[in-house]
Amino acid sequence: MASISNWVRYMAHKLEYSLTLSLKKHTREKLSDRELIGIVVKNLFYGRITYLHSGKGPEMAPTMGTNENTLLVRKLPVVDTRYVFIGDAVVLKDPNETNKYLVRRLAAIEGSEMVSSDEKDEPFVLEKDQCWVVAENQEIKSKEAYDSRTFGPISMADIVGRAIYCLRTAVDHGPVSNSEFAMEEDSPILAVELDVDEMAKDHKA
């Protein structure tokens, strides 16, 4: 059972998420004030700010295992440096197959100078709204890792959420290690929306 302080913080996150979504929709579709309020209320009282994501593959081992895993992913109201941080495990659109999604660690953001271990490669600086994501498995060679080392920088807009809890098996599960600030921000959401039994039902062994 979540504490009162967690509920208060959770509702603040939910209100921010609902308002941001509604204002974005209002900008696109020119909603009336009544429609705008209706969307805010619906998201605030009936919506969730997490969803379940199934993934597999060795790229994020050992954090997420090498077999099938089920992740609880926090939806982000806006994807910029106020909401995602270096060190976060993010869910992003596959740059080569936009109907698929990857989980990778956010390693660098706009303004960062990228220097390759290969002296043949020239250093470069990430441009505005660009970021660099990497696979976590140290046993995978950089040229074989399907991450920014192979497909290059991605747009921050391609990030759809942050992985906050991982269920590898029914008895092996726990919070995903993210940046310190992100874990503090996500703790009330975990306290309210985490349902391990629901994740286990969704899990593919």
Residues 91 and 159 in one domain: yes
Q: Between 198 and 26, name the one with better pLDDT.
A: 198
pLDDT, one tens digit per residue, over 22-50 is: 777 767 777 777 877 777 788 778 889 99
Model pTM greater than 0.85?
A: yes
Question: Is 104 marked active-site?
Answer: yes
pLDDT in tens, 48-73: 999 999 988 788 888 887 778 999 99
User: Range with the lowest mean pLDDT among 59-63, 122-126, 171-175?
Assistant: 59-63
Active-site residue, from 59, 136, 185, 193: 59
Question: Residue 148: its pLDDT value, please?
Answer: 94
Asked whether the predicted pLDDT for residue 182 surpasses 70, the reply is yes
Same domain, 19 and 56: no
Tell me, yes or no, whether 88 and 57 share the same domain.
Answer: yes
Is pLDDT of 131 > 90?
Answer: yes
Residues 24 and 118 in one domain: no
Residues 42 and 59 in one domain: no
Count: domains in the chain = 2
CATH number at residue 195: 2.10.109.10
Range of the domain at 37: 1-47
Catalytic residue from among 9, 74, 104, 105: 104
Same domain, 186 and 101: yes
Three-state SS across the chain? Answer: CCCHHHHHHHHHHHHHHHHHHHHHHHHHHCCCHHHHHHHHHHHHHHCCCEEEEEECCCCCCCCCCCCCEEEEEEECCCCCCCCCCCCCEEEEEECCEEEEEEEEEEEEECCCEECCCCCCCCCEECCCCEEEEECCCCCCCCCCCCCHHHHCCEEHHHEEEEEEEEEEECCEEEECCCCHHHHHHHHHHHHHHCCHHHHHHHCCC
